[in-house]
Amino acid sequence: MSLEDLRNQKKGSYESVQDESDITYLNNGIFANNPDTFKEDDRIEEEKHLRNVLNTFLHYEIYSQNMNNKKKIDFKKLPENHKKLFPDVLNKLNTIDEYIKINTHFIKLMIQDYVPYDSDSTKLFQGRSLKQLEVDKVRSTLKQFARDWSDQGKIERDETYTPIINALLDFYKDIPEEERGELNILVPGAGLGRLAYDITKLGFSTQGNEFSFYMLLGSNFILNCMSEPKQFRIYPWIHSLSNSVKVEDQLESIDIPDVLPGNIPKNTNFSMVAGDFIEVYKTPSYKEYWDGIVTCFFMDTAKNILEYIELISQILKPNAVWINLGPLLYHFEDMYSEPSIELSLEEFFEAIKMFGFTIKESKRIETTYCCNQKSMLKYKYNCSFFVAVKNPDNSNNI
């Protein structure tokens, strides 16, 4: 299925291997203000962007093999007395080559419906220089599968998704389970869709929103194209051999998905919308539409976090709930070509109140993000977690 097909059918489901699937993918245009005003320039820009992402995915194999090959050369150049100490190193690197092939097979299946041409990556990359930063996004996507859809990711999901879900259940504890489908919950920055999916499984009608094509291609594949649990084995940790206690830690596989997506409760809708959060939801039809908004590691992806808070306030119903968990690692702070506003946590809270929210609960939760739990280095985020309710009287101070 091409991007063109995807946009034209707007509310159509992807074809799914799961008969019971009712996961709808909407595409309002990544760069479009809204689907009705989607312009030719936007279409061209979007297709160029998608092609770059697909090229990068296809580039993964060559780039990874080159890097692994370099490790072999470096090892072979060692003095003889060093080489003989670790006779198994080349075996390990050959194993990594095999695992790169397995990861590549998985990636190619994931993107196959979107590659409208011969997927020979050597052809695609003629004249294109290797950029580590781009290939890092493919590696991050593989790690994101570990976080969202593997047994190993349960630690991070328990630390982050569980408190969010418990707060949502608590907030709507007076609504009977069979009526939860009437409550519409939005998950901006949905990534590979696990949090949105878990909320759906509890009976809430849920919409995930995501801007990144890396995540959109991944979430479509995992949500719509699986036929059994643990259908795929991939190797997300083979690209860094630093900070490992054991060689096996570097070679560890994950089996995905840990659960087979599907069996959405009756009267419950689940959809994923592609596009920029502001562009998609600023349309008047979403004004005071949502019964809950859940943001997890999302708010700091804003170029202007105040715009995010303001829009969340506008599209929530009065008395509806906003649950947030995340740090304030502003994604655009160091990018000279993009605007960025960096609030401290205290300023962030001031802004939340000024945009018409009352904070009901607030605490700090320490967690990692897409972390190999066995690594000697962990990035620990001391996240802000809060439950905020939109004031009924529109009493914001703006």
Interface positions with a second copy (CB under 8 A): 66-67, 70-71, 74-75, 77-78, 81-82, 85-86, 132, 240-247, 249-250, 300, 304, 306-307, 310, 327-330, 333-334, 336, 339-347, 350-351, 354, 376-384, 398
Residue found under tokens 């004031």: 391
* Beta-carbon count within 10 A of 249 CB: 16
Least gap, CB of 383 to a second copy (angstroms): 7
* R_g (Cα) of the chain, nearest Å: 22
Pairing of strands 316-326, 357-367: unpaired
Least gap, CB of 382 to a second copy (angstroms): 5
* Closest CB to a second copy among residues 258, 347: 347
* Closest CB to a second copy among residues 175, 328: 328
Least gap, CB of 300 to a second copy (angstroms): 7
* Beta-carbon count within 10 A of 155 CB: 14
State how far the alpha carbon of 117 is from the alpha carbons of 55, 332, 335, in Å.
11, 34, 33
* Closest CB to a second copy among residues 235, 381: 381
Q: Give the whole-angstrom CA distance, residue 101 versus residue 87.
A: 23
Least gap, CB of 75 to a second copy (angstroms): 7
Q: Give the whole-angstrom CA distance, residue 252 versus residue 45.
A: 38
Least gap, CB of 77 to a second copy (angstroms): 7
Rounded (5°) CA angle 229-235-240: 150
Pairing of strands 205-210, 270-274: parallel
Tokens describing residue 198: 């878990």
* Closest CB to a second copy among residues 1, 351: 351
Sheet holding 184-188, edge to edge: 23-27, 270-274, 205-210, 184-188, 290-296, 316-326
What is the three-class DSSP state of 274? strand
Least gap, CB of 79 to a second copy (angstroms): 8
* Closest CB to a second copy among residues 175, 354: 354
Q: Give the whole-angstrom CA distance, residue 310 versus residue 356.
A: 9
* Closest CB to a second copy among residues 10, 131: 131
* Closest CB to a second copy among residues 249, 361: 249
Strand partners, 367: 381
